[in-house]
């Protein structure tokens, strides 16, 4: 399963309109004919010789994160790089109800909040870090406020 921003990397045209299937396995930009495959990579380029090859190297539609959660497929425009940058590559996130690596945590938390809340805010407070050799045990204290999709309109909580 893949999703991409619907913007041509040549001059910014909208690549597709409406809904439907892609029976050809390719998308052709309606402006100048750049062709994208289902992985978002640019393949055919009309008048390729008129472009600097460096500009076309690796050109692709920017991907959007897609996860399946709760029986639904969620596409997220969030900044994955920013979220993942909060963790060391080998970090384990222990949220009590979730334990896993940073990629698993990002999938879980964004899917869970998307399914549960219309909007939400986290305010972070104290942060502690205990070093034990080359292992760090970190805790961050927070306050949370969320507008629920169902039930009580507003929920607040705090914890670590």
Alpha-helix runs per DSSP H in the chain:
53-56, 80-84, 102-116
Q: Which residues contact 1 (CB under 8 A, 6 or more apart)?
A: 66, 68, 73
The window from 30-38, 57-65, 97-105, 144-152 that contacts ligand FES (CB under 6 A) reads 30-38
34 binds ligand FES (CB under 6 A): yes
Ramachandran angles phi, psi of 49, nearest 5°: -65, -15
> Which among 10-18, 72-80, 115-123, 128-136 is the span making contact with ligand FES, rule CB under 6 A?
10-18
2, 5, 6, 11: which one contacts ligand FES (CB under 6 A)?
11
Q: How far apart are the first and last CA of the chain?
A: 34
Binding residue for ligand FES (CB under 6 A) from 5, 14, 26, 32?
Answer: 32
61 belongs to the binding site for ligand FES (CB under 6 A): no
Interface residue with ligand FES, options 4, 8, 27, 111 (CB under 6 A): 8
Q: Per CB under 6 A, does 28 bind ligand FES? A: no
Residue 99 near residue 88, CB atoms below 8 Å: no
Q: Which pair of tokens denotes residue 3?
A: 């999703």
CB 151 within 8 A of CB 133: no
Query: Which residues make up the interface to ligand FES (CB under 6 A)?
Result: 8, 10-11, 13, 29, 31-34
């Amino acid at each position: 399963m893949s999703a991409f921003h619907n913007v041509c990397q040549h001059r910014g045209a909208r690549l597709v309109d409406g809904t439907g299937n892609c029976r050809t396995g390719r998308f052709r930009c309606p402006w100048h004919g750049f062709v994208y495959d289902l992985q978002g990579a640019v393949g055919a380029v009309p008048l390729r010789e008129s472009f600097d090859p460096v500009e076309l190297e690796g050109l692709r539609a920017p991907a959007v994160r897609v996860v399946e959660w709760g029986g639904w497929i969620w596409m997220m425009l969030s900044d994955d790089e920013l979220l993942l940058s909060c963790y060391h590559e080998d970090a384990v996130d222990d949220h009590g109800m979730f334990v896993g690596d940073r990629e698993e945590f990002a999938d879980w938390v964004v899917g869970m909040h998307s399914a549960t809340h219309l909007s939400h805010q986290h305010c972070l407070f104290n942060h502690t870090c205990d070093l034990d050799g080359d292992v760090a045990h970190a805790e961050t204290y927070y306050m949370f406020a969320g507008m629920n999709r169902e039930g009580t309109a507003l929920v607040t909580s705090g914890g670590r």
